[in-house]
Amino acid sequence: MAHILVVEDEQAINDLITMNLKLVGHAYSKAYTGSEVAELLEKERADLVLLDVMLPGLDGFGVMEQIAPLRIPVILITARGALSDRIRGFELGADDYIIKPFEILELLARINVVLRRNEQAASAFVCDGVEVRFKERQVWVDQLLVDLTAREFELLEVLIRNRNIALSREKLLELAWGYDYAGDTRTVDVHIRQLRKKLGWEERIKTVFKLGYRLEVQV
């Protein structure tokens, strides 16, 4: 199931939402202010953000502008039902807009719709002539199938799924290798170089691997 970040300053509402998320099998994280969100998402990527608009300090619209590069689906939940507010929310990239008070069953249904929609969109990744098909575990470059090892594909998928998030070598080893690797963490650099070469990303400008203390894909 999905990991959902619930950003709601009223504890009773936050608890109600997260309790029901748990009942249907979702994992969740909580935030009570807008200023917490970016830091939380740097540590742990969410599949969906449920975001109140009227938050202390940085409001929900400000949060959306701040986290827009992460491309995480957002459902706005707010008492502000004016047409201008709804339009602003959608213009900022909200996937849905729910007005308080709401029925919890409707919220859960809307969550499922947004998750299904984004799951379909996430079944492939395309950038600058490179297409990654996750279900088929295939990579195509300029419509030609590229032969990757299982480890290279797993590392590539981790980098894409966590794009715009800084990942240390140790974290990449944990996510792509699936265990605490006891060897030289520079093995990540070797696999990165192989991916660059096979995918032609050494010559491609739009996609860049940054090596060093921070290791990330920027798209």
Residue 51 amino acid letter: L
Residue 4 clears pLDDT 70, i.e. is over it? yes
Question: pLDDT by residue (tens digit) across 104-147?
Answer: 999 999 998 898 888 765 677 777 788 888 878 899 998 899 99
Tell me the average pLDDT across 193-202: 83
Question: pLDDT by residue (tens digit) across 10-43?
Answer: 999 999 999 999 988 888 999 999 999 988 888 8
H or E element in which residue 154 lies: helix 150-161
- How much is the mean pLDDT over the chain? 83
User: What is residue 172's predicted lDDT score, i.e. its pLDDT?
Assistant: 80
Task: Give the Cα separation of 68 and 199 in Å (integer).
Answer: 27
Task: Give the single-character DSSP code of 167.
Answer: B
Range with the poorest average pLDDT among 39-53, 80-94, 171-185: 171-185
Residue 203 clears pLDDT 70, i.e. is over it? no
User: What is residue 65's predicted lDDT score, i.e. its pLDDT?
Assistant: 93
Residue 141 amino acid letter: V
Task: Give the Cα separation of 192 and 110 in Å (integer).
Answer: 39
pLDDT class of 205 with cuts at 50, 70, 90 = very low
Tell me the average pLDDT across 187-200: 86
Task: Give the single-character DSSP code of 13.
Answer: H
Buried b (16+ CB within 10 A) or exposed e, 84-110: ebbebbeebebbbbbeeeeeeeebbeb
| Rounded (to 5) percent helix, strand, coil in the chain | 45, 20, 35
Task: Give the single-character DSSP code of 25.
Answer: T
Tell me the average pLDDT across 67-77: 90
Q: Backbone dihedral region of 53: left (phi > 0), alpha (psi from -120 to 50 degrees) or beta? A: alpha
What pTM value is reported for the model?
Answer: 0.60
Task: Give the Cα separation of 139 and 11 in Å (integer).
Answer: 45
Comparing C-alpha atoms, which of 37, 42, 1, 31 is closest to residue 171? 42
